[in-house]
Amino acid sequence: MVNLWRSLRFLVVSVVLLGLIYPLIVTGIGQLLFPYHANGSMIKLHGRVVGSMLIAQNVTNPGLFHYRPSAVNYAGNGSGGSNLGPTNPALIKEIKGNIQTVEQQNPGTPVSQIPPDMVESSASGLDPDISIQDAKIQVPRISKATGLSQQVLMALINRNEQGRFLGIWGQPMVNVMKLNLALLQQRGK
């Protein structure tokens, strides 16, 4: 019986320490030192929250850069990939459909030049970044829709490029939210 009471006391103390006190301390430190990040890296435009730097959105406006496809329909409350293997007919059909969408939105783009991130969803389905090649393919469409020159759009991409992680891993990329905000600022909106 003594062991039972010790075990119960240990359980209660552990729940209070690890389930209440520790999370409150960590949350407090996060709010104190990194309030922007702790609150989801939310972006405001004209005083209104328009999104997060961390989560992709379904952008269909031809005058803005588009995110990569999402396996979860850009639902931020439930991330996840398609979980379809490379030989699964559903994945092949999905990618072919995405290639057609890219060709319709960006006429003249050879299939061989379409980067994988333009037609495949990320593991989370919510990746906010695209490759530089993906962004460059979208430049003619955006130039036509906005009236901005392709040179101005390429300069925006170059200014917002994020290099490889620690200069070694991954590929150079650009955050679509950040790029679209720079684009809107360039247009005076």
Q: Note the pLDDT tens digit of each residue in 62-85.
A: 999 998 888 777 777 777 677 788
Give SS3 for 10: helix
Q: What is the pLDDT of residues 114-148, one digit of tens each?
A: 998 888 888 777 788 899 999 999 999 999 999 99
Per-residue tokens: 183? 């684009």
Per-residue tokens: 123? 């593991």
Concatenate the DSSP letters of all residues of 27-95 into one string.
HHHHHHH-HHHHTT-EEEETTEEEEETTS------TTSPPPPP-TTTT-TTS-------TT-HHHHHHH
Predicted confidence band of residue 165 (pLDDT cuts 50, 70, 90)? confident
This prediction has a pTM of: 0.79
Phi and psi at residue 58, to the nearest 5°:
-85, 95
